[in-house]
Structure 1
Amino acid sequence: MELYLDTADIDEIKSAFNIGIVKGVTTNPTILLKTRKSRENSIRDILKYSKGMVYVQTVSEKYEDIMSEVQSLLEFDNKRIGIKIPVTPDGIKAIKELSDKSIKTIATAVFTTSQAVVSALAGADYIAPYINRMEQNEIDAINIIKEIRNIYEMNNIETKILAASFRNMEQIMRVIKAGAQAVTISYELFCEMFNNYLTEKSINKFKEDWDELNDKLKNSF
């Protein structure tokens, strides 16, 4: 099971990585827009304050332009920068070439089983199905995840399912149970994974009992 943080906010990255369970960071143009910084500055800061892979999405549409963009992205750190590329014919062609060069890739904006198949044939390290967007468009996201995992296992495919685009914790847990090996989530949902009122209630009870125990021990002397 792998957990990625889907953000470019440096404060969020610092806080999450301080806990020690986050594997890496994923970004896209929509996420970068929120920072109001250039992509270049965002990448430098993310690399500085995170660990593991940092996946950056290409914005070019034609194969030649995608490959040119990839080269400029790899100049930031050719070991820690991974490439997210939407599943199009030109995108799949680029993923295949990058895979042949052992460059880490995520085939992103996946909505169908067939897209997952062509991504795996191209050698993508991960595919990123967009769960909430699928459900908003009345696509059975959980069934798609199960189909993809089954096909991958039957054919000994090493590509992993990195589910993305979540609205709530219930969606995250459902895709994990359905077979996704990884998820990339917002900082808000990351924090929510820890929160439960019963846990907080238990902690408060422990504290009360600990204080009471110490008071009794003091009074016994």
Structure 2
Amino acid sequence: MKFFIDTANLDEIAEAKSWGCLAGVTTNPSLYAKTGGKLADFESHMLKIAELCEGLPVSAESTAATADGMVEEGLRLAALASNIVIKLPVCEAGLEACRKLADKGVRVNMTLVFSAPQALLAANAGARYISPFIGRFDDISEDGVAQLADVVTCIGNYDWSGKNVDDKVEIIAASVRTPNHVTQAALMGADIATVPLGTLKKCLRHPLTDRGIASFEADWKKVEQA
């Protein structure tokens, strides 16, 4: 399973990239707003992320309300850099725009997916990536991991050759909040987990690892002082 970072913060992207295990970036309007960015700077900011990631897929989300608007914005964003993927919400307009963009050779990440039927519709509309959410189910006391498992199984049952730009569909486990979400997504075969930097750091940490490092350092100091 590959790791994307879910942020629009350039410093966070650079830090995660320095670890050597980053495979892409996902952004959304809320994440861009958290950077304090302005509307006029949005496209230049997406370009900075695309350049920082050196060819790794970077999802930039359209905020248009109509299919025509999504297509227009999507084409403009995709023209900024070859690694920009257009992110669209799963809805009537989103599906229509997805098909039109895919037919023009633009990769689409269909987001806000909460069910297997939504995922199947997105795949048939030409989505290159499908982003089912996990954590938001926790907010309404439902099992997001089980819903993700249904999506992974349903999409994996079929050959999507010829449906989109790259003849494949990858599942991005989104709204990932805990290391256990990452583990469960990997166990069921999700292709990608897109994870905030804070959660990535939680995945890296383990108390026994920390204890072992501290022990090695203490013992080495004894060697140095001998």
Matched residue count: 215
Amino acid at match of 1:16: A
SS in 1 for 2:106: coil
8 Å CA contact retained: 2:27, 2:61? yes
Return the offset for 1:143.
2.0
Quick one: distance in 2 between partners of 1:146 and 1:14?
Answer: 31
| Residue 191 (structure 2) pairs with residue 181 (structure 1) | yes
Correspondence list, 1:185-200, <5 A: 185-200=195-210
Q: Distance in 2 between matches of 1:86 and 1:166?
A: 18
User: Which entry has the higher C-alpha Rg, 1 or 2?
Assistant: 1
Cα distance in 2 between the residues matched to 1:97 and 1:139: 34
Runs of 5+ consecutive residues of structure 1 not aligned to the other structure: 217-221
> Is 1:86 equivalent to 2:61 in the alignment?
no
Distance 1:138 1:123 in 2: 32
Q: Deviations over 1:154-191 (max 9, x none)?
A: 22343121011123222222222233211111111111
Measured on the aligned residues, the alpha-carbon RMSD in Å equals 1.7
Q: Equivalents in 1 of 2:79, 2:35: separation in Å?
A: 22
- The answer to whether the 8 A contact 2:4-2:192 is kept is yes
1:154 aligns with 2:157: yes
Alignment-derived partner of residue 30 in structure 1: 30
User: Mapping of 1:56-71 within 5 angstroms?
Assistant: 56-71=60-75
| Residue aligning to 2:6 | 6
- The residue identity in structure 2 corresponding to 1:47 is A
Q: Distance in 2 between matches of 1:44 and 1:153?
A: 33
| TM-score (norm. length: structure 1) | 0.90
SS at match of 1:82: strand
- Confirm or deny that 1:110 pairs with 2:113: yes
- 1:210 deviates by 2.8
Query: How many Å separate the matches in 2 of 1:148 and 1:196?
Result: 30
Counterparts of 1:93 and 1:207, CA distance in 2: 58
Q: Is the CA contact (8 Å cut-off) linking 1:6 and 1:187 kept in structure 2?
A: yes
Q: 1:44 to 1:154 in 2, by over 3 A?
A: closer
Paired with 2:73 and 2:21, the residues of 1 have a C-alpha distance of 30
**Rounded Cα–Cα distance in structure 1 between residues aligned with 2:83 and 2:77:** 11
Which one-letter code corresponds to 1:171 in the other structure? Answer: H
2:50 corresponds, among 47, 51, 57, to: 47
Out of 122, 125, 128, the position equivalent to 2:128 is: 125
